Amino acid sequence: MVIPTYNEAENLPKLVSALFLLPFDLRVLVVDDNSLDGTGPIADEIAKHDERVRVLHRAGKGGLRSAYLEGFRIALDDGADAVMQMDSDLSHDPAKIPEMIESLQSNDLVIGSRYIPGGSVDKQWPLWRRNLSAFGNIYSRAILRVPQHDVTSGFRLWRRETLLGMPLDHVRSNGYVFQVEMAYLAHCLEYKIGEVPIYFPDRRVGKSKMSFAIQTEAAIRVWQVWWNYRDLRQTGKSGRLSQVKQKANF
């Protein structure tokens, strides 16, 4: 479980406790970007009493891309059979993990989806916010022409072999659109992607990291992702990985 954190002191202990109630052999890697609210020391205290928890302290806010990619590499080096990514604000329900693990038996990547039958977002959100959330997926899917319904979801479970087959050094998008690029790249490389319905509630504690700047960056970067990988669909699968390595340089 790779869990990036920034100012999640109240949420992190609850999340870790919920994860270890699951009947699986789990390891948790907390990637903390020098939180100002004491999240880092709290994570260290948890790790001190539970060897299944490891903490990676980073000097500052390096962004979602580098947090996850560093976390993925550590998990793979540690021999993980599968790697899960999830938010630390309790918006991703650990109770859905068994269903995602089951789905991984027949898929290379499983996405927790808000936009397939059975999935939804916070029932208390006003209509404008629901529409804005859905639009991000409609916008990205229309440009990239992918069949997955929730390419912006950060609740994902990867097979070890899938991540090892991805040219992670060449993924450049940060923030919100990092999720889009990773899903699109997996799609272009013809990995089998499944979706499991999830309910996405609003965070109860702390402040959302989403901002207008992040949304603007995402809208622009989706076009850059499309352009950068534009030739992948025109080649056979055997030639796609080499194309990614040559072209993914923005």
Q: What are the extents of the domains in the chain?
A: 2-247
| pLDDT category of residue 134 using cuts at 50, 70 and 90 | confident
- Measure the CA dihedral 137/30/68/20, to 10°: -60
- The amino acid that residue 91 corresponds to is S
Matching CATH number, 2-247, of 3.30.70.100, 3.90.550.10, 1.20.1530.20, 3.40.50.360: 3.90.550.10
How many residues are given for the chain? Answer: 250
Contact 185, 171 (CB under 8 A): yes
Instruction: Please give the Cα distance from 66 to 31 (Å, whole number).
Output: 10
What average pLDDT does the segment 56-77 reach? 93
As a whole-number percent, the residues of the chain with pLDDT over 90 amount to 68
Contact 38, 55 (CB under 8 A): no
Tell me the two tokens of residue 231.
């030739």
pLDDT digits (tens, 9 = 90+) for 2-60: 999 999 999 999 999 999 999 999 999 999 999 999 999 999 999 999 999 999 999 98
- Measure the CA dihedral 139/145/146/148, to 10°: 40
Alpha carbon 162 to its chain centroid, in Å, reads 14
| The pTM of the whole model exceeds 0.85 | yes
Q: With 60 as the cut, is the pLDDT of residue 206 above it?
A: no
Contact 4, 71 (CB under 8 A): yes
